Homo-oligomer: A and B are copies of this chain.
Amino acid sequence: MNCEVIAVGTELLLGQIVDTNSSWIGEQLALSGIDSHYQTKVGDNWTRIEEAVRLGLERSDAVIMCGGLGPTQDDITREVIASVVESDLVLDQAIADRISEMFRSRGREMPENNLRQAMVPEGAQTMEQQPGTAPGLVVPVQSPDGSPKVIYAVPGVPYEMKEMVLGTVLPDLQERSGITSVIESRVLRTWGQSESGLAEILGGRISELEASGNPTLAFLASGVEGIKVRITAKASSSEEVEGILQEEEGFLRELLGDLVFAVDHDNMESTVLTLLADRGLSLGVVETTTAGYMAHRLATARSGTEAFSGAVAARGPGILSYLLKGDPGVWQPDEAAMQLARVARGVLVSDVGIATTSIEDQSRATESHPFGTAWLAVSMEGFETVERVSLPGDLERIRQFSTISLLNLLRLHLQGSRG
């Protein structure tokens, strides 16, 4: 079973919007064990969209089309699909009523155009969605060689797209893969080991699982988001699958220990902030090199943000002198990091302070402190630490990795693994 992605929209070709949807869908397909060999971007042009879909159906079993389902004249994904599968578009009265109702409830007049969103190719199913958004489509296709194929159409708005891909597209693809049993995945997110290191730790377990083939394990390296370990299980019921996932997660956690920092959609910042919030602790940050990167990740975390007091991004000598009470030049970078973490508690009125310093400038690099060296410090009641790390890559990568490494250091302490 393989599935390709077609992102529709002239704004994507012009670079006005970066196509992050296809990347996200690609990752989800990989995590679900479905091959994906091509991703295409095409503008709002009937002929070219149609050619892209036909080509997709020729070389793949399924095509996910993303975008072009809106109410305006240049949203033509629906019409092109109907043409490809040689079906008529018919009005789905239930959807039409829902759209009209949505406008009525907001006290607005519905432009006639919006009823286009209720047109569905004959033989297609619609996907459940939030009220008021364009319905997604599941359109079965009989390919010339007789094999059954399928086109999915989802909106380009990221949160609507994600809901439909997770809720309908992936389960439907798995069912079409010929597997009638329930298949579910769980992702353990790890930080602190390379992919080959993880493979070594889990090698024995992977061999054990090979005999039964259920559950299966897979790795996905995701840069600053760490390395993901996906467990996929199948069984005849959801309860059974849940049981297998639960048991396997237990095995893996025993092997991986504190390398696991989150499960599924949680990330490092939501994990750390939730740990803090659960303990009634607040967090203050002093950033130097990372300059706002850490604040932005913490402020936009999906949970626990009430524990984030704030951050000071210190770039100029004045603010650094103020925070360090004197010439910053007299401080060793490790001692400066430690002091800034302490200061963060006071300045940001927080229970926990964290800070980084680093060699962010080739001109300040020395043999003993090369470019990319960073110091990570934590200060809280009864616990203080500063760690030195050597980070790879350019300045942007150093910013990203020192942020996550510092949050990870705090996580390890809060979870009781260190300190």
Contact = CB atoms under 8 A, between A and B. Distances in A.
Contacts of A298: 291-292, 315
Contact of A350 (B14, B51, B316): B316
A98 interface: no
Contact of A223 (B17, B51, B315): B17
A305 interface: yes
Contacts of A19: 18-19, 22-23
Nearest to A26: B15
A406 to B, nearest CB: 14
Which of A55, A292, A312 has the most chain B CB atoms inside 10 A of its CB?
A: A292
Contacts of A221: 16
A216 interface: no
A142 to B, nearest CB: 24
Interface residues of A, number: 67
A24 B308 CA distance: 35
Contacts of A299: 291-292, 313, 315
B318 A314 contact: no
A293 B30 CA distance: 31
Given A22-B41, A38-B42, A40-B39, A349 B291 contact: no
A227 to B, nearest CB: 10
Nearest to A309: B316
A48 interface: yes
A161 to B, nearest CB: 13
A45 B37 CA distance: 9
Interface in A184-224: 220-223
Nearest to A223: B16
Nearest to A14: B30
A272 interface: no
Given A292-B299, A309-B315, A24 B15 contact: yes
Contacts of A38: 13, 40-42, 48, 52
B349 A318 contact: yes
A282 interface: yes
A322 B295 contact: no
Which of A24, A52, A348 has the most chain B CB atoms inside 10 A of its CB?
A: A348
Contacts of A318: 282, 309, 348-350
A310 interface: yes
B312 A305 contact: no
Interface of A: 12-20, 22-28, 30, 36-43, 45, 48, 51-52, 55, 59, 220-223, 282, 284, 287, 291-300, 305, 308-316, 318-319, 321-322, 347-350, 396
22 contacts: A14-B220, A16-B220, A16-B221, A16-B222, A16-B223, A18-B20, A18-B23, A37-B42, A38-B40, A38-B41, A39-B40, A282-B318, A291-B295, A292-B292, A292-B293, A292-B295, A292-B298, A300-B396, A309-B316, A310-B313, A318-B349, A322-B347
Given A37-B45, A298-B315, A308-B315, 19 more contacts: A12-B39, A13-B30, A13-B39, A14-B27, A15-B22, A15-B28, A16-B221, A38-B52, A39-B40, A292-B296, A292-B297, A292-B311, A293-B296, A295-B313, A299-B313, A309-B316, A313-B313, A318-B350, A319-B349
